[in-house]
Amino acid sequence: MEFLSEDHLKQLLLCEWLVKIDNDKSTPYLFKFCASPEEPSCCLLITDTKNVWGEVLSGKSLARRWRECNPSTSAQLETAADEAEEIQWRKDLLGLLSNVHTMGGIADLSFDVVSSLNADLAFELGSDEFKWRWETYILGPKVSADVLSQQLIMPLISVSHLAFSSADPVSELSDTNLQTVMYFQPDTDGTWKY
């Protein structure tokens, strides 16, 4: 199992927060997803705003997870003619996961927290077409606090500052102007600066 690294967290800093609610416990979860089609690999960061969990999946692990979650559609994929087809299929799979891990894509998916012997927090996303399962591990209290600060709290402070101090409505600012007037900005090393 590959762990969330500083590089993963830097990539996730630029990703949008998605929201799903565990209806059984009425617990809201915020999560971010990031994919790298070159490798192919992806990572997920999820929080209930008290704890933070994460998972990184690459190549073989990504394909294995899909085949475990979708055995009926995976039977035809077992007969991949060659390695090139398998690599292309993994890239296509990553594209599908990238599409469903967006605000528009996640809205139509079910969300169920499930038990797992291998994970600190496991949950399934699904629809009629497919199922996906994340098996995340807890990052620990010190790392969780740092991650929440960088990924959630500082961007919220930044946006709040912008909303209250900008002379122009935020919705009318261009991306360049938006970054220029931001009070807190992510630095190249992933930290926030004034």
Local confidence pLDDT in tens for the 194 residues of the chain: 678 888 998 999 889 999 999 988 999 999 999 998 888 899 999 999 999 999 999 988 999 999 999 987 755 555 556 888 888 889 999 999 999 999 999 998 999 999 999 999 999 999 988 899 999 999 988 888 888 888 887 777 766 666 666 666 666 767 666 555 554 455 655 555 54
Q: What's the predicted TM-score (pTM) here? A: 0.78
Measured CA to CA in angstroms, residue 20 lies from 25, 100, 101, 191 at distances of: 12, 13, 11, 27
DSSP 159: H
Class of residue 12 by CB neighbours under 10 A (exposed 0-12, middle 13-18, buried 19+): buried
Q: What residues have CB less than 8 Å from 43, skipping those under 6 apart?
A: 4, 8, 11, 12, 33, 34, 54, 55, 56, 57
Residue 84: how many other CB atoms lie within 10 Å:
9
Residue 127 phi/psi, 5° resolution?
-150, -170
Domains of the chain: 6-139 (2.170.210.10), 142-180 (no CATH)
Q: Which helix (H) or strand (E) holds 177?
A: helix 175-181
**pLDDT at position 183:** 42
